[in-house]
A and B are shown apart, each in its own frame.
Chain A
């Protein structure tokens, strides 16, 4: 799994929208789309303990990314279904497109760990993984060992990569960008928050996911490197405090990488990039038709509010 990468990619998506969509795609929808896969599946991965009894998945990686399990929550198929439901509900182009982009970003980023995701579910119930770092969520190690492994491996490099992508697009974090690109696409949501927060609080709220990603990356890395006691989690061959860094492929080597049935790892990146291209091609193709449909839906809603729906709708039905 990826950690802070999921927070940074929200801003990376926002910064790399097609030109005609700039300032018109909902930031909160990208956030929600990126949040959905783990929101639906991860609570049971680490589990929780009440009165000495542990509640959670017996095989965390199977639950998280497999089938049977909740692995479908990390598939584009599921993302498209949710996106269609959102579109059918509100006919809101800004939110629908944002949600799909956020969801796709999360699902495609997760091909990097040793478990990967079912990119072509339900046509193919095999995972696509590049095996870049080890998936390390286990019943015994829980969240702490998972974090230690992730931030001692190429997982940390992936987080830093996404951080650099955002920093190269640093304008996406400025007040000017927030005012001109973010607020117009989500005017009602920001207006609602504006009832409780001053402008500096609203900008902080916009930057908060980036802040959280950056801080958790540094905090977990520092803990894993300098403060953790490896013997607490397993009998590791480590003499000092802190887990050893290992930037080898599918590392760290001091932990057995979890895995599910998967295709050849060389196929993972081409397949993910192809799907990313398909997603962008589809949203570019549908952008204008969705805009027209949204305008029609808004006009219909307006007629309903004004009480003039009966005549118009009867005529339309006829």
Chain B
């Protein structure tokens, strides 16, 4: 069966996934998501002050960091397919 050349189906190296089989963020990608969360939150906060509170602030960051990479993975923007992540899940159980 021919594989999709655009999708990296090789299992990720140990240590790149966590105890749930979710991908860890490292380096530039981690910075990107934190900066994206900060810039959007700061900008919206200037005009919508109700966003600047104890609950929304932390929830904003956690949502960005959890959901953002998940979406880009599903869209194939980070070169990780669903099947590759699936196989990583089993590896992830032992990569704590």
Contact = CB atoms under 8 A, between A and B. Distances in A.
Contacts of A143: 49
B48 to A, nearest CB: 10
B61 A211 contact: yes
18 contacts: A198-B20, A198-B22, A199-B20, A200-B66, A200-B69, A207-B61, A208-B57, A208-B58, A211-B37, A211-B57, A211-B58, A211-B61, A212-B58, A214-B38, A215-B38, A215-B41, A219-B42, A223-B49
A205 B69 CA distance: 16
B57 A194 contact: no
Chain A contact surface mostly: helix
A227 B45 CA distance: 12
A200 B61 CA distance: 11
Interface of A: 35, 143-144, 194, 197-201, 203-205, 207-209, 211-212, 214-216, 218-220, 222-223, 227
Given A212-B61, A215-B42, 19 more contacts: A197-B62, A199-B19, A200-B23, A200-B69, A204-B61, A204-B64, A205-B62, A208-B58, A209-B58, A211-B34, A211-B41, A211-B57, A215-B41, A219-B41, A219-B45, A219-B46, A220-B45, A220-B52, A227-B46
Nearest to A214: B38
B52 A219 contact: yes
B18 A208 contact: no
Interface of B: 18-20, 22-25, 30, 34, 37-38, 41-42, 45-47, 49, 52, 54, 57-58, 61-62, 64-66, 69
Contacts of B45: 215-216, 219-220
A111 B18 CA distance: 44
Contact of B42 (A35, A200, A218): A218
A167 to B, nearest CB: 15
Nearest to B69: A200
A63 to B, nearest CB: 20
Given A197-B66, A198-B66, A211-B57, A222 B22 contact: no
Nearest to A204: B65
Contacts of B25: 200
A223 B62 CA distance: 25
Contacts of A203: 65
